[in-house]
Amino acid sequence: MELNAFFEQNPSGALAFSGGVDSSLLVWAAAKYGQGWHAYYVHSAFQPAFELEDARRVAEQCGMPLTIIEGDILQYPEVTANPADRCYYCKRRIFSAILRQAAKDGHKLVIDGTNASDDADDRPGMRALRELEVRSPLRECGLTKSDVRTMCREADLFVWNKPSYACLATRIPAGTPITEEALRKVERGEDLLASMGFRDFRIRLRGGAAVIQVTESQQDEAWERRKELLSRLTPMFPLVSLDLAGRTCSD
């Protein structure tokens, strides 16, 4: 099935919007080929500020109505306990909030931006989507991450080359409780790295320490600027280190 055919067959519905590349393509396609689609962004402590800003920009560019749902994800102990399947509980809460609001607005169908490159075999979040009967048009249409980026570029969406971004909770090891303070430290640290020109990186928390992960192509630069990194990050973290293995794209 082609993406335009999906929206012609499903002219209206609710779109779970993260501000990332995949769901941005859905916003564009729904606005172009659909008739009554509405985007929903769940704002929680797990998302950095730039994601909401990007979501607003894309929705405005595409002429898609956008509703911001405030979600206090930290009120749920099954999430903050940070078990290995935390993503399942988090997705259940976030998409349940979207489903409730969508139903109030008269939408029965809810879709998300899972693409054909995403491995659904052993991902707790995918299980939550299946249980809630959330559809994934990109996956149904066989569109990979590379396809999505190409289509976003052709659609002139500024996010076409935006690095994949997992939520801030992924920076905290499973089994370590998630706190508002830890999430904000990570966000401030990663904002700082972005301001220094780094791309596609992570700051992982190990106890109170920050472990910087950059891609292999940025390793030399990070090492050369280690004194600057230390001076700027030490006020936030008692110990700062660089992961010499580099960053992979698993999360």
pLDDT in tens, 84-143: 999 999 999 999 999 999 999 999 999 999 999 886 655 788 999 999 999 999 999 999
What letter does residue 210 receive in the DSSP assignment?
E
Q: pLDDT digits over 163-192, tens only?
A: 988 999 999 999 999 999 999 999 999 999
Q: Looking at this protein, which amino acid is placed at residue 238?
A: P
Residues of the chain with CATH 3.40.50.620: 3-161
- What number is the average pLDDT over the span 39-43? 98
Residue 1: per-residue pLDDT: 86
* pLDDT number for residue 57: 98
Percent of the chain with pLDDT over 90: 90
Confidence check: pLDDT of 251 > 70: no
Dihedral over alpha carbons 217, 21, 42, 191 (to 10 degrees):
30
pLDDT reading at 250 higher than 60: no
Mean pLDDT for the stretch of residues 74-80? 97
Residues of the chain within CATH 3.30.70 domain(s) are 179-242
What pLDDT is attached to residue 138?
97
Phi-psi region of 63 (alpha: psi -120 to 50; beta: other; left: phi over 0): left
Q: Which pLDDT band, with edges at 50, 70 and 90, does 207 fall under?
A: confident
Q: What is the pLDDT of residue 249?
A: 62
- Cα–Cα distances in angstroms (integers) from residue 126 to residues 37, 53, 56, 79, in the given order: 23, 26, 25, 16
In this predicted structure, the answer to whether residue 47 has a pLDDT above a threshold of 80 is: yes
The answer to whether the CB of 194 falls within 8 A of the CB of 188 is no
What is the pLDDT, as a whole number, of residue 183? 97
| pLDDT for the residue numbered 123 | 79
Convert the pLDDT of each residue in 23-34 to its tens digit: 999 999 999 999
CATH class of 3-161: alpha beta
* 159 neighbors 58 (Cβ within 8 angstroms): yes
Instruction: Read off the pLDDT of each residue in 18-22 and give the average, rounded to a whole number.
Output: 96
193-216 mean pLDDT: 94
* Architecture of the domain delimited by 179-242: 2-Layer Sandwich (3.30)
